[in-house]
A and B are shown apart, each in its own frame.
Chain A
Amino acid sequence: MEYILIIISAIFVNNILLSQFLGVCPFLGVSNKLSTATGMSMAVCFVITLATVVTFLLNSLLAKFGLEFLQTISFILVIAALVQMVEIVLKKISPALYASLGIFLPLITTNCAVLGVALTVVQKSSPFASAADGMFNLGEATIYAFATSLGFGLAMVLFAGLREQLALNEVPKAFKGIPIALVTASILAMAFMGFSGLV
């Protein structure tokens, strides 16, 4: 039951893009076409889940030695290394998946959603607590990260679909490009506000 609550809350109620504003750069940058948006979402999904598990474990190590202030530096290094590693492993194991995610993987290091989720999870977690106290254990942290990245994918794909339609319409010159995309995102965010209070 708690897992379901975490999932619904992460995908709809606290959508990472439309209510927490993490990862807005790729949201505006690569949402021109549905296919690229799907590729980006899949890559992000992969990296966020993996990065959260690794940083969660790393944090318990840091906490053991009282070095929590190193969180920012060590997390970003771990994420950068992880992205590199995922790239190398994918290239070897599944060239097809690598070809479809390839160009998006290096971009993910500087996607603030990854570091953002890792830091959020660590802030409200301890290895032995449960979601009942508002704390995550490893399993819940993983579920939360995965659901959050699904929320990212959902918003991304919806938005890309809207923008594909939008490209066919005429908009005033000053609105071309990003401004009209932002106005569209605003309406999409309003739609997602309808989910607030659900959990």
Chain B
Amino acid sequence: MGKFQLITKGLIKENPTFVLLLGMCPTLATTTSAINGMSMGLATLFVLVLSNMAISLIAPYIPDKVRIPSYIVVIATFVTLLQFVMQAYVPDIYETLGLFIPLIVVNCIVLGRAEAFANKNGVVDSALDGIGIGLGFTLSLTVLGLVREILGSGSMFGWKFIEGDGILAFVLAPGAFLALGYLIVIFRKLTTK
């Protein structure tokens, strides 16, 4: 597989949200607006790239039996690092995303890539894989956030294009499930000809 394909496969063929259906909790919870979705995606991208690189480096030295707990500790370390960075530079976004930043630790995408890719491949490939999957995640969260923001509050990336309120249900819980369900259907229709 070429280096370029490593990055692009996460966008469509192995899109973590629409195809692999991983990491559903942050996907549903943080996409109340496009900006929030994008921030969550980028935060996950950060952890994913760093943990993929670290794990590909240390994987040969970890006994097979304790590999999962070891990976979780590595991931949790980078998540704590991310918490510090976000608290320092983007405190507003850190407040909005709240609980879901520490919960990146248990995001199945991160552990899944460590187990399925990073522990068998080199540092560069693992970093590219992290970037690819992370970008795919960011893209789908932004799209879902955008759809919910347009329908729910009548704005795009914070820019309001209609007067008054939108359909409130799309900002609340039911709209998250509904919008994601229909987006997966549209994605399937577009990708399978």
Q: Name A residues whose Cβ lies closer than 8 Å to a Cβ of B.
A: 18-25, 28, 69-73, 76-77, 80, 109-112, 115-116, 119-120, 123, 174-175, 178-183, 185-187, 189-190, 192-193
Contact = CB atoms under 8 A, between A and B. Distances in A.
B181 A180 contact: yes
A24 B30 CA distance: 13
Interface in B164-193: 169, 172-178, 180-182, 184-185, 188-189
B106 A115 contact: yes
B25 interface: yes
B174 A190 contact: yes
A18 B173 contact: yes
23 contacts: A18-B173, A21-B24, A21-B173, A24-B25, A25-B25, A69-B83, A70-B80, A71-B102, A77-B69, A77-B73, A80-B72, A110-B106, A112-B107, A116-B103, A119-B99, A123-B99, A174-B188, A175-B181, A178-B184, A181-B181, A183-B181, A189-B176, A190-B169
Given A24-B25, A189-B172, 6 more contacts: A28-B24, A72-B79, A77-B73, A174-B189, A180-B181, A186-B177
Interface string B34-59: 00000000000000000000000000
Contact of B21 (A28, A190, A193): A28
B183 to A, nearest CB: 9
A76 B80 CA distance: 12
Interface of B: 21-22, 24-25, 28-29, 69, 72-73, 76-77, 79-80, 83-84, 99, 102-103, 105-108, 111, 169, 172-178, 180-182, 184-185, 188-189
Contact of B108 (A20, A110, A116): A110
A189 B177 contact: yes
Nearest to A27: B24
Contact of B103 (A115, A180, A186, A192): A115
Contacts of B180: 182
Nearest to B178: A186
Contact of B177 (A71, A119, A183): A183
A22 B173 contact: no
Given A112-B103, A190-B169, A182 B184 contact: yes
A178 B21 contact: yes
B103 A183 contact: no
Given A28-B24, A186-B175, A186-B181, A76 B99 contact: no
Q: Which of B25, B103, B108 has the most CB of A within 10 A?
A: B25
Contacts of B182: 179, 183
A111 B106 contact: yes
A192 B177 CA distance: 13
A25 B21 CA distance: 9
A55 to B, nearest CB: 12
Which residue among B103, B172, B177 has the maximum number of chain A CB atoms within 10 Å of its CB? B177
Contacts of A23: 25
Contact of B105 (A70, A72, A187): A72
Nearest to A15: B173
Given A112-B106, A115-B103, A187-B174, A76 B25 contact: no
B94 to A, nearest CB: 13
Contacts of B69: 77, 80
A22 B99 CA distance: 10
In the A-B complex, the 9 residue pairs with the closest CB atoms = A182-B181, A186-B177, A21-B29, A186-B178, A189-B174, A24-B24, A73-B76, A190-B174, A185-B177
A175 B185 contact: yes
B174 A193 contact: yes
A180 B185 CA distance: 9
